[in-house]
Chain A
């Protein structure tokens, strides 16, 4: 028996009890695609009228449904597309690939989300939001640059440390606790320009899904959330392209079939061009100085035959700051993913993923070769991920697979040269292997009850060869010193951790348009983002769990009520409550030295966390006015020995109230408008009580020794934008090309929203013997209104 038969065979034995006996059964399967460009449609519904139930397509647009012999009326539906109906006399296995045609003439007129019409109510997945690129593009954006990551901050349960910061916080998790996947490959730093823009080119993104709770067993490695970004497939019908000129980037994306309906590609690039303008007007960028950032995204796919498809996708991006020819820093991500979809049989779909992901940064300082300092750091990840979807019957869909990740960390390769003498101060490489195996079943008990239950077993090995250390145990909150240094062999297992991660979700359908859902998940995270600054920055490193740093762990329970109302589910609404408890959360001693520090583990503290909240969401899908409102009331706290006298304290991103409104208005003419409004209650900050002087410096002192003891003012901001479509007809002939202008204003009423408050001496040079003036200063990152214009086109 070869591999090809072995897996289905083993499965059918393992899952035998689930296979209900009865008369002959046959399977219908296939792909659902967009008729205009051949793009796979994820989450499209296959509805069998006779069963009043059906299936949905998976991440690759594939579905499979097994039914008893008979005649069926089947509808293929996807929101924003015309429903396709077929009557099938089922007496054999059938392959039905469907291409759906968009409603109306242009896809971008539909600003509702690409989900089955009542997916939010009927699916067992809760705590999840999907946004398709069309709605992301409609949101008013910072300097007119469409931003995938900023758009998810309009969703309930999602917050950020502040404007212009990297990353996002989900249900009280830290930035490093989100798994950001681009076509299955993790992206370690998702921002350009220190956090103002995200690295994902909107022209190459198909859709994004954020999972905040009830995380399925197929995902692992981070404890707070999964942001799954799927790249667009190239147009398999004809050559097309899109692009734009904005205030920061100019963009161009081209896509075309290699072979019609068989193979296609998309290539999309962006580059900032402030430096190009600057060169014209100033000599600031003379002598080799540079400031730019760019990214390139590429994806190709090939439908070999009805049973095999392959995809190759890649991303490359970089930020470049140079002070002159020798000095500067740069950073960027590289990912590449190779995937093979294979149908073992009509009901067993498989995907094999191989990926490589790298994040690195590099700094160089010094006037010449006799006096310089160079430093780079990187994290490399290699992964193999086989995954299987077994569509047993309309009641059960089993997903199982493995996830094997090899990590290579290079915390610092650094060389200092002082007056011609060289010192290599590099830190040992560290290696680790993370493996996960999972099995999960989506089960429909009846028309009311659905379950998803799964188990993930994860294992982590911190591997040699690197030195490892034993530390002493001083008073909590102070630096721990090395008491023993140990050597390890190449690939020797220095420390091993393994964990079972149960995942469970339950849905009870109350009525045809309302449901109750609950979920529980345990998640474990073995690699850690080390960042002790307010916002994460490009120099932050990732470290593995070691003999001294334990894996982070989290439990989450969530309960939600989902209801759609209005004609044709015009309104969607939900209320969800969650509670998270986390362990081995990392914080830092005061004055922690986290860069180029071989003994960094001695500067880390560990403790527990808790977060809870209530999320409200209301979305209007139909009519000229659409949009959504999200409101979250939440609390996020940590308790770490050595901080805040060992008492619980709120995290920097603890926001009691967080409200976002996104709205879109379509006129019958060429104009459309959108607005978004945010209100966030004040985030915590640490304020001093007193001052004292040492050697002529005025030092703040907080007598309670507390952390985050007061709150800064609340944050609110309104952004608006207007889109003007180009004329569709020219000289009475319909134009082939489309174009549109976007005019936007960020922070319309120019509020100086506080980002932080800091305490310092006055700027002037203190005069000996005179008192030093102390003051408090409020910082607003964007303290003014910012208008922008961009021009976009498609052909």
Chain B
């Protein structure tokens, strides 16, 4: 169960403007590079990409160096193998044929990465996904956080039967909303397994978390959507291990900052489902998703004020 954090934190920050932050440059311990396999595959009829890179010092602000020369395949439980081609920069690609897409709901998949004589493996399954029925907009008058704003909401019902896990990805004008605070995951129609909210329309904090939180140059919040903006919402079915990974990743990278740090959890390593050979180490995650999406363009004349 996580809280609807944005409004609470903003509220608290406005009342406790006495906290402050400084960027610092601490010296960190040295570490060896570790292989990182970033393999999130889905059934959209587009090119599927697996990135293989190496970890690097935390403050290294250069692009990650790709691992080249690996043999990368995904095999399903019927023995069908998908080969991913080395493009020479750490990206390994599989391109579907016309009218084709990756995999089938209900199948299990095995990823194999053969690199430098070592075999890395991971397992995943393609789970069922609900339909995004529609997207709606609403107008809200200026409050102490936002100006007069248009907020979007998506409408979809969790599939009946508990244990479905999803990653909801939103695109504004074709650009994926990629801030850590915008990671939107669901366990059934709610936040967590303990919550046990099954078979409902996704609860409002999840429905609402498709709105970009951006500020202008003067740190004033902007209306998430404006006239003419388009929005596209995708639900990716993910296995439970991937849900736990994303949940943990969000805890690590979506830092509250400021006064919110009082209630932060300690830094810890995110899990991985990549199985490395004995005495080797690997990072990353392999997931296969089925995707359903829907979009809409905001025409403010259609939205009641």
A701 contacts which of B55, B178, B196 (Cβ < 8 Å)? B55
Task: Report A755-793 residues with CB < 8 Å from chain B CB.
Answer: 755-761, 765-766, 768, 771, 773-784, 786
Q: How many A-B residue pairs have CB under 8 A?
A: 272
Interface centre among A321, A535, A595, A705 (most CB of B within 10 A): A595
B23–A775 CB distance below 8 A = yes
User: For residue A367, which residue of chain B has the nearest CB?
Assistant: B204
B285–A694 CB distance below 8 A = yes
Q: Give a binary string over A692-736; 1 marks a CB under 8 Å from any B CB, 0 the rest.
A: 111111111111110111100000000000000000000000000
Asked if A690 lies at the interface with its beta carbon under 8 angstroms from chain B, I say yes
Residues of chain B contacted by A759 (CB below 8 angstroms) = 58, 255, 267
Selected interface stretch from A67-75, A400-408, A419-427, A568-576: A419-427
Asked if B261 lies at the interface with its beta carbon under 8 angstroms from chain A, I say yes
Task: Report B16-69 residues with CB < 8 Å from chain A CB.
Answer: 18-26, 28-34, 36, 38, 40, 51, 53-64
User: For residue B247, which residue of chain A has the nearest CB?
Assistant: A591
Residues of chain A contacted by B18 (CB below 8 angstroms) = 781-784, 786
A710–B26 CB distance below 8 A = yes
B40–A695 CB distance below 8 A = yes
Asked if B160 lies at the interface with its beta carbon under 8 angstroms from chain A, I say no
Closest chain B CB from A782 CB (angstroms): 5
Q: Give a binary string over B108-136; 1 marks a CB under 8 Å from any A CB, 0 the rest.
A: 00000000000000000000000000000
Closest chain B CB from A777 CB (angstroms): 5
Residues of chain B contacted by A618 (CB below 8 angstroms) = none
A760–B194 CB distance below 8 A = no
B267–A783 CB distance below 8 A = no
Q: Give a binary string over B277-292; 1 marks a CB under 8 Å from any A CB, 0 the rest.
A: 0000001110000000
B262–A766 CB distance below 8 A = no
What bracket does the count of chain B residues touching chain A fall in? 35 or more
Closest chain B CB from A323 CB (angstroms): 6
Number of interface residues of A (CB under 8 A): 94
Closest chain A CB from B229 CB (angstroms): 15
Residues of chain B contacted by A756 (CB below 8 angstroms) = 261, 264
A765 to B176 alpha-carbon distance, docked (Å): 10
Task: Report A104-159 residues with CB < 8 Å from chain B CB.
Answer: none
Q: Give a binary string over A380-408; 1 marks a CB under 8 Å from any B CB, 0 the rest.
A: 00000000000000000000000000000
A443 to B227 alpha-carbon distance, docked (Å): 84
B64–A162 CB distance below 8 A = no
B204–A691 CB distance below 8 A = no
Asked if A356 lies at the interface with its beta carbon under 8 angstroms from chain B, I say no
A771 to B258 alpha-carbon distance, docked (Å): 25
Asked if A197 lies at the interface with its beta carbon under 8 angstroms from chain B, I say no
A515 to B38 alpha-carbon distance, docked (Å): 67
Residues of chain B contacted by A608 (CB below 8 angstroms) = none
Q: Give a binary string over B136-160; 1 marks a CB under 8 Å from any A CB, 0 the rest.
A: 0000000010000000000100000
A363 to B205 alpha-carbon distance, docked (Å): 14
Closest chain A CB from B84 CB (angstroms): 16
Q: A705-B269, A757-B26 are in contact. Are A783 and B247 (CB under 8 A)?
A: no
B265–A533 CB distance below 8 A = yes
B257–A777 CB distance below 8 A = yes
User: For residue B57, which residue of chain A has the nearest CB?
Assistant: A690
A419 to B29 alpha-carbon distance, docked (Å): 51
Interface centre among B155, B252, B267 (most CB of A within 10 A): B267
Residues of chain A contacted by B192 (CB below 8 angstroms) = 593, 596-597
A699–B204 CB distance below 8 A = no
Closest chain B CB from A535 CB (angstroms): 4
Q: A194-B262, A418-B204 are in contact. Are A423 and B28 (CB under 8 A)?
A: no
Asked if B305 lies at the interface with its beta carbon under 8 angstroms from chain A, I say no
A705 to B272 alpha-carbon distance, docked (Å): 13
A783 to B22 alpha-carbon distance, docked (Å): 10
B176–A768 CB distance below 8 A = yes
A780–B22 CB distance below 8 A = yes
Residues of chain A contacted by B271 (CB below 8 angstroms) = 590
A771–B53 CB distance below 8 A = no
Task: Report B65-109 residues with CB < 8 Å from chain A CB.
Answer: none
A598 contacts which of B34, B194, B247 (Cβ < 8 Å)? B194
Asked if B244 lies at the interface with its beta carbon under 8 angstroms from chain A, I say yes
A688–B58 CB distance below 8 A = yes
Closest chain B CB from A590 CB (angstroms): 4
Asked if B251 lies at the interface with its beta carbon under 8 angstroms from chain A, I say yes
Q: A593-B192, A697-B180, A702-B269 are in contact. Are A783 and B19 (CB under 8 A)?
A: yes
B1–A694 CB distance below 8 A = no
User: For residue A755, which residue of chain B has the nearest CB?
Assistant: B261
A435 to B281 alpha-carbon distance, docked (Å): 51
Asked if B218 lies at the interface with its beta carbon under 8 angstroms from chain A, I say no
Closest chain B CB from A327 CB (angstroms): 8
A593 contacts which of B1, B38, B285 (Cβ < 8 Å)? B1
Closest chain B CB from A123 CB (angstroms): 38
Closest chain B CB from A141 CB (angstroms): 15
Q: A425-B197, A593-B194, A752-B22 are in contact. Are A534 and B31 (CB under 8 A)?
A: no
B64–A423 CB distance below 8 A = no
A774–B22 CB distance below 8 A = no
Closest chain A CB from B26 CB (angstroms): 6
B28–A689 CB distance below 8 A = yes
A777 contacts which of B24, B155, B247, B267 (Cβ < 8 Å)? B24
B201–A418 CB distance below 8 A = yes
B38–A694 CB distance below 8 A = yes
A534–B263 CB distance below 8 A = yes
A692–B31 CB distance below 8 A = no
A690 to B8 alpha-carbon distance, docked (Å): 31
B61 contacts which of A274, A690, A774, A776 (Cβ < 8 Å)? A774
Asked if A365 lies at the interface with its beta carbon under 8 angstroms from chain B, I say yes
Closest chain A CB from B254 CB (angstroms): 8
Closest chain A CB from B153 CB (angstroms): 10
B60–A691 CB distance below 8 A = yes
Asked if A366 lies at the interface with its beta carbon under 8 angstroms from chain B, I say yes
A692 contacts which of B26, B40, B53, B155 (Cβ < 8 Å)? B53
Asked if B299 lies at the interface with its beta carbon under 8 angstroms from chain A, I say no
Interface centre among A423, A707, A761 (most CB of B within 10 A): A423
B263 contacts which of A329, A366, A537 (Cβ < 8 Å)? A537
B284–A416 CB distance below 8 A = no
Asked if A686 lies at the interface with its beta carbon under 8 angstroms from chain B, I say yes
A321–B26 CB distance below 8 A = no
User: For residue B59, which residue of chain A has the nearest CB?
Assistant: A774
Asked if B303 lies at the interface with its beta carbon under 8 angstroms from chain A, I say no
Asked if A227 lies at the interface with its beta carbon under 8 angstroms from chain B, I say no
A533–B178 CB distance below 8 A = no
Task: Report B159-205 residues with CB < 8 Å from chain A CB.
Answer: 175-176, 178-180, 183, 189-190, 192-198, 200-205
Residues of chain B contacted by A423 (CB below 8 angstroms) = 196-198, 200
Interface centre among B38, B51, B56, B268 (most CB of A within 10 A): B268
Asked if A652 lies at the interface with its beta carbon under 8 angstroms from chain B, I say yes
B204–A768 CB distance below 8 A = no
A593 to B248 alpha-carbon distance, docked (Å): 10
Asked if A532 lies at the interface with its beta carbon under 8 angstroms from chain B, I say yes
Q: Give a binary string over A272-285; 1 marks a CB under 8 Å from any B CB, 0 the rest.
A: 00100000001110
**Contacts A591-B248, A599-B194, A780-B20 given; 10 further ones with Cβ under 8 A?**
A284-B14, A418-B200, A534-B265, A690-B56, A694-B285, A701-B31, A701-B55, A760-B257, A765-B214, A775-B59
Between A and B, 30 residue pairs with Cβ closer than 8 Å are A365-B205, A372-B204, A373-B204, A416-B200, A419-B201, A421-B201, A425-B196, A533-B263, A534-B265, A591-B248, A595-B2, A596-B1, A599-B193, A652-B266, A686-B266, A689-B28, A690-B31, A693-B51, A693-B53, A697-B180, A697-B249, A698-B253, A701-B31, A701-B283, A702-B267, A703-B32, A760-B257, A768-B176, A771-B62, A776-B59
Query: Contact residues of B with A, CB < 8 Å?
Result: 1-4, 7-8, 11-12, 14-15, 18-26, 28-34, 36, 38, 40, 51, 53-64, 144, 155, 175-176, 178-180, 183, 189-190, 192-198, 200-205, 214, 244, 247-249, 251-253, 255, 257-259, 261-271, 283-285
The 10 closest A-B pairs by CB, nearest first: A597-B194, A689-B31, A783-B20, A703-B31, A591-B248, A686-B267, A595-B1, A590-B268, A690-B55, A692-B55
